Amino acid sequence: MAQGQRNLATFMKILLVKRLESSFHAFQETLGRFIKSHELVLQAFDDGFVYTSRKHSNKVLEFLEEGDDDAAAEGPVKQRVVPIVQDTKNAALLRLSAGPLPEAAMATLQHALARGIGLVFQLEEGETLTEPVPSRESRRAILAYEATEGGAGVLGRLTTEPQALAGVARTALELMHCRNLDAAIAAADPALLQNDPEAQCVKGCYRCLLSYYNQPDHELIDRTDEDVRRTLLRLARSDVAPIASSRGAGEAGAWHEALSRWGLPLPDGEPLIVDGAVLPLAWRAHLAAAVYGPVGDNTRCALEALGFVVTTVPDEPGDTPPPELAEMLRGAS
């Protein structure tokens, strides 16, 4: 939910509590009105129109209730809406191959990278957002996504420009009041980092990692966290390179042929890359993937975090579809 909506929700909550304090009857009435107005607006959406009016915003509900079209000339404007939204946004999933860091470190790393991305690509705050995945309670990876329409495509640049991620990490360390960066990055050694003596910042401040947007995480953020510093130092000396598939097209080709023979959906054109592993047989619409040979624990965890089920198949397809694969692909369709 956008921050504005969240603020509005909080505001409404306070309003309702105040109402309850004044009288239970008043509270009941207000609640009844809320429900009724929501139902009316939803009904209007179903009918394919909404009333909009700045001047007569207080009258919109009356019009909805009365359905008085003749009076519309005097009041709110009736406007056709098509309640379908379509939008494409870039997202990037950042996952540490050695496994997630402790909770506070994952939160700190998330906000360090978010601020680094914002500074390197000169974004407005909130243009690219980050979230822990699968949830705030279980921070296994960091999802970054472009929150505004027609974003600057910065997440695409992060994965295609070999030095972009390194620049983000270095900028984050600088922001975290770290000095002696060149030596520390070269050795990937957090012990070589020095504190800016002017910083006057213990674990975080509004000049480094704290912001209005990340208030719920303020207690977790610690710019001195050694795991975070080590990770950022390693990223700061990294290059981004696409992972080449270790499998030839041979097996995938045989599988394509067999799947269409069995009347099962064909895998996506693009292989799925998870936790550094390339999965040539992936059905994103079915949240299903198949690998040749055993699945590593890390890969399985990463796939499950993304909601995928994974099965093992032989290099060469047999005469009949592997039952587990068939069930995954048929069951989800």
Contact residues toward Zn ion (CB under 5 A) are 201, 205, 208
CB of 180 to Zn ion, least distance (A): 17
**Residue closer to Zn ion, measured from CB, 110 or 311:** 110
* Collapsed DSSP state (helix, strand, coil) of residue 283: strand
- Buried b / exposed e over 198-231, threshold 16 CB at 10 Å, is eeebebbeeebbbbeebeebeebbbbbbebbbbb
**Residue closer to Zn ion, measured from CB, 210 or 306:** 210
Are residues 169 and 235 in contact, defined by beta-carbon separation less than 8 angstroms?
yes
CB of 172 to Zn ion, least distance (A): 12
CB of 199 to Zn ion, least distance (A): 6
CB of 221 to Zn ion, least distance (A): 9
**Residue closer to Zn ion, measured from CB, 56 or 203:** 203
CA proximity to 209, closest of 101, 103, 109, 96: 109
- Buried b / exposed e over 283-300, threshold 16 CB at 10 Å, is beebebbbbbeebeebbb
- The tokens for 38 are 């929501």
The Cα 26–Cα 71 span in angstroms is 31
Phi, psi dihedral angles at 120 (to 5 degrees): -65, -40
CB of 228 to Zn ion, least distance (A): 13
**Residue closer to Zn ion, measured from CB, 142 or 201:** 201
The Cα 220–Cα 73 span in angstroms is 55
The Cα 322–Cα 320 span in angstroms is 6
CB of 202 to Zn ion, least distance (A): 8
**Residue closer to Zn ion, measured from CB, 129 or 205:** 205
Radius of gyration of the chain (CA): 26
Length of the chain, in residues? 333
CB of 210 to Zn ion, least distance (A): 7
**Residue closer to Zn ion, measured from CB, 173 or 201:** 201
**Residue closer to Zn ion, measured from CB, 53 or 195:** 195
E strand or H helix at 116:
helix 103-120
